[in-house]
Amino acid sequence: LLFTSFLLSYLLLVFIKSFWQRIPPGLKRPPGPRGYPLIGNMLDLGKNPHRSLAEMSQKYGDVMQIHLGTRPVVVLSGLETIRQALIKQADDFLARPDLYSFQFIEDGQSLTFGRLSLDVWRANRKLAQTALKAFSSTSLLEDHVSEQADCLIAKFQELMKEKESFEPYQYLVISVLNVICAMCFGKHYNHEDQELLKMLNMNNEFGEASASGNPADFIPILRYLPNKAMKAFQEVNQRFSALVQKIVKEHYLNFDKNNIRDITDSLIDQCQGEGMDVNPNVQQLNRKVTYIVNDLFGAGFDTVTTALSWCLMYLATYPEVQKKIQEEIDQTIGRERKPRLSDRPMLPYTEAFIMEVFRHTTFVPFTIPHWKLWKDPCDFSPERFLSADGTGISRNEVEKVLLFGLGKRRCLGENIGKWEIFLFLTTLVQTLEFHVLNRETVDMTPRYGLTMKYKMCEQFQVKQRF
């Protein structure tokens, strides 16, 4: 009875508050759709929130307000509006929302999701940038990607001998994961290694839980009710943190300042320089390093995998585009050596193809092709990113693609991600041709999530080029 009375009182308070919100003098509420008490506009978003928000922005403008549960949310659209917020007013938009679920990601200390103080955020970001810079040299990355790309080619060829066609994503994701493991932890795993597969499974669980969202983030009373989804989200974060902590602790035990092996070692070295206690028996010794490694690991994995999987599907769907890329690689690199990052300026069509995949797929759900920015936005045309003479990339067009964010919160691993995608793609295309069984039409409708993946395609095929 007491709980029922409390619940009714809470609902009444929320109902009243949803109609009366104080606005500071001199300001006015941005335009936007009216929502329902308690749930706001949650029902209006549907299964594809990014599309629903795009439609709303056409009615209410580039700055609008919606309500997710009891939370007011400002939605920005339009390139200039976004630049105004994230570049010209960067400090005003630097923080993260205090969503309930975020406290379960690295104990609320995540660079990506945590509500860190500005000084702590800047210090941790600087640590991460230094470590990335130390272990993202072109030669190291080329070696890691080359090894994994060769493994992937061999696996694809093996699968083609066993059956007519296959779904490539599950094999691609292992190769990309291994590159990240090599950079962060200094080792490649066997593709059947249980620790590697645990990382993969936990990453999938995190993505699924995050993509679906949790009403408790927006309707506070739900935090106090049984919540299986939130419990599962909390548990997967705990399991992943425990796994990374174990690896970091092993690094502490074997740490040699004169032999920095990977990103984790680099972070330990920097923290030791700051005076952090490196006694492996102290419970808190590796938390700071663990938090940053968690962020770098997650940021460098899912986006790259999703981008590459879309690239392969577009190659199979647009054979004329694939042929142009093959010809460009053959003429510039030949077949006697592997692609290198130094080849990028000489492969403008390949670079344009990658940018067009970024643009056309909208596989990060807040980047939607728009008629105000692009001519014929629904058409797939790498040529739109080429310079007028076709020998380079149009920087003006590239800057319209906000896949890695903008401003001070721009993704730390943007360059590494782009390099990795380029190296994997060119190595694969140099050796293989990609097709769809019986030229069937691939369903390119993305599935909504943290990153938008295509629907599984079991009709994918590869063929040795030479």
Binding-site sequence positions: 411
In Å, how far are 157, 202, 326, 418 from 344, measured between CA atoms?
A: 27, 34, 14, 11
Q: Helix, strand, or coil here: 41?
A: coil
What is the amino acid identity at position 137? S
Dist CA 449 CA 417 (whole Å):
19
User: Are 418 and 409 in contact, with CB atoms under 8 Å apart?
Assistant: no
Q: Which residues sit in the known binding site for heme?
A: 411
Phi/psi zone of residue 438: left (φ > 0), alpha (ψ -120 to 50 degrees), beta?
left
Q: How far apart are CA 330 and CA 188, in angstroms?
A: 30
The rounded distance, in Å, linking the Cα atoms of 72 and 67 is 4
Distance CA 71, CA 256 (A): 49
Q: What backbone phi and psi angles, to 5 degrees, belong to 360?
A: -75, -35
State the DSSP code for 38. Answer: T
Amino acid at residue number 154: A
354 HSE (CA, 13 A, CB side): 23
155 touches 171 (CB < 8 A): yes
Strand pairing report for 63-68 and 432-436: unpaired
Cα Rg for the chain, rounded, in angstroms? 24
CB 411 within 8 A of CB 405: yes
